Structure 1
Amino acid sequence: MTELVTKLMDFGFTKTDALVYINLLKNGRASGYKIAKDISLSRSSVYSSIDNLYSNGCIFMLDGETKEYEAKSPDLILSQIEKKTIENIHILKKELSRMMLHEEKEFIYNISGYENLLQKAKEVLSQAQVEVYLNTDFPLEILENELIEAIERGVRVIVFSFNKLSTPHPSIEHYSRSEEKEKRYPSHRFMLVVDMKKAMVFSHRAEVLGLYSNNRLLVKMISEHIHSDIYLTEYEKSEPEKRCRIGTIHELENDMVIDNKKWLENEI
């Protein structure tokens, strides 16, 4: 009995409503006075519940010398509750969605640890819907499943690397500065942009620390970097004599410089 009362209360019945309804189901047609006597509650509280149950379509009222009440069948009541609940859910979904802030707040997160960064990269790739830009010397096999699944969803995947990488799917658009296969590991650079909405940057060094963000400026800058590497590569392949260098520390000493010494010696 207690459990039935609790279940009915889950669907909007008050405790007294539930007791009145169950009493009518068990004992059949009855007056408010008799119901109050059966469940040992005041007549005022019972009549208040009778009004609620009648208004909500849970009981019938039979006119006569003394008003009597009869419970509607549980199947009918529960069907009414189910229909009303579904209707309310649809209304809430629609109205609450209108109120929700659709624009995601901008964030910039630092993430440490190679495995954590790799897991985040896989997660971001799994959300891709339109385009993926990737600038890396990491072996693409570490993201093989995510890249293939993205392509099968119709996502365009563009990859840039200085040396040639093995691609896990023929639809990957791969640009490389050199035709020599990448052999330098642990890898130095990983830049990822997904749908021009989210970006990641990290390397695989002694202290692995990376950045994950949806900040519009950072996403645009990283996207431009990847595109510029592709443009520069294709331009210098077609016009090698017009190669431009400006003699900066970045060119001469940085481990992540665009051109390593070996490549320069082979080309000059």
Structure 2
Amino acid sequence: MKPILTKLGFSEYKASAYITLLKLKKATPCEIAKHSKIPSSKIYEVLSWLYEKGYIMQVSQKPVIYEANNPKYVLGSEVKNRIEDLELLKKEIDVLKSDIEIVEKGTFSIIKGYEGFFKKMKEVTQRTKKTSIGIVQSWKTDREILDLEKEAIERKVSIRYLGPINAKTTPFVKARQEFGVDIKNYTSPLTRFAVWDSSILMISIKKDKEEDYMSLWIENEILSKIFEDYFENLWKLAEPV
């Protein structure tokens, strides 16, 4: 049962207290703490949470005794409520997505730091329909971006990168080549940019510290075309892998 409770947001202590009370049928806070090995300094906070959420009920005032409510009903009700909340959230997101598509066209934004950069990369990669090109330096990435690029390849998106290939970068290069990314060897200490679907442009500005890293994001077909043409010229000259 503990894995189910964890998925529903129970902490280790809360799950242990609830399961212990189910086994004991009825018990005082001290008895629950003893059998569940929850510190006495935490047990009242844990039981208060379970009580407020409706997972347990108080059946005696003096001494205080709790009884667990039937998990089949209380957990089932919790799941049902969450499904309803998610359905409402999905409807709100669908409305939000349509609003964003109208607002974002022709936008310009500056993102500071790698965390924000990666979040934007993932969002753009998910909605790429035809092409993705870029000039990179460190091949810095994470597992989720690789998975999203693989999914894009499966959607017939053409992905091409220019970047330095050496002993340090080879593992990252091979990871992308395995699922169909086209890569050529190219080294430039200054140029770092990417273009998606001939309409979304990212220009990377490297700083000394990771938190100072900045990237410019522009949704403009004219500017994107200029950088796209520049990339194509470099692609012709770059060394095949």
Shorter-chain TM-score: which interval?
0.3 to 0.5
> RCO greater where, 1 or 2, for CA within 8 Å and sep 6 or more?
2
State the TM-score, normalizing by the size of structure 1.
Answer: 0.42
State TM-score, norm by structure 2: 0.46
Computing the radius of gyration from Cα coordinates, the structure with the larger value is: 1
